[in-house]
A = this chain, B = another copy of it.
Amino acid sequence: MINNSVLDAIYNRRSVRFYTDELVDDESVKEIIRAGSFAPSGLNNQPWRFITIRTPEIKNNISELTHYSKIVIEANVLIAVMLDTDAIYNRDKDLQAIGACLQNMLLAIHSLRLGAVWLGEILNQKDQFNKLLSVEERYELMAVVAIGHQTKKTLSYSRKNIDELIIKEI
């Protein structure tokens, strides 16, 4: 295996679900969003939009839309990643671009020595999410990233060996 700081971040990033009370400062939140916005997108349409959520009452309300309530309540800040459906180019490619944006955010968070988890199950309640936050229907919830300072080491998921993933080499 080759070694460099970018590969280290890719291999050592973990989903972090337990956070201290410590503040995630605004500068870090802006940097995480900026990192997300540097993902590539089809025709450079940059379809991602963001909502940052810190207010405890609002986090409490959001926690009722998901099975992962504890994470939503305990995270110091949430960043909701929204698809601007007015900016749509091709839904499949836009969803891929949003995934690339999310990965940049997760790697940026790791590089800032913060912890985060990408929450997707809340998409089952995406319409309620928009209503709760008074966000126009034009914006479609894609994921919520819960962010905080990590308390304890979290388990890593196993990965398939790359030989199982390569269909052919031609």
Verify B165–A33 contact, CB threshold 8 A. yes
Chain B residues with Cβ under 8 A from A110's Cβ? Answer: 6
Verify B99–A44 contact, CB threshold 8 A. no
Cβ of A142 < 8 Å from any Cβ of B?
A: yes
Q: How many residues of A contact B (CB 8 A)?
A: 73
Chain B residues with Cβ under 8 A from A38's Cβ? Answer: 10-11, 13, 159
Residues of chain A having any CB pair with chain B under 8 Å: 1-2, 4-7, 9-11, 13, 15, 27-28, 30-31, 33-35, 37-40, 42, 44, 46, 48-55, 58, 82, 90, 92-93, 95-104, 106-108, 110-112, 118, 120, 123, 133, 135, 139, 142-143, 157-160, 162, 165-170
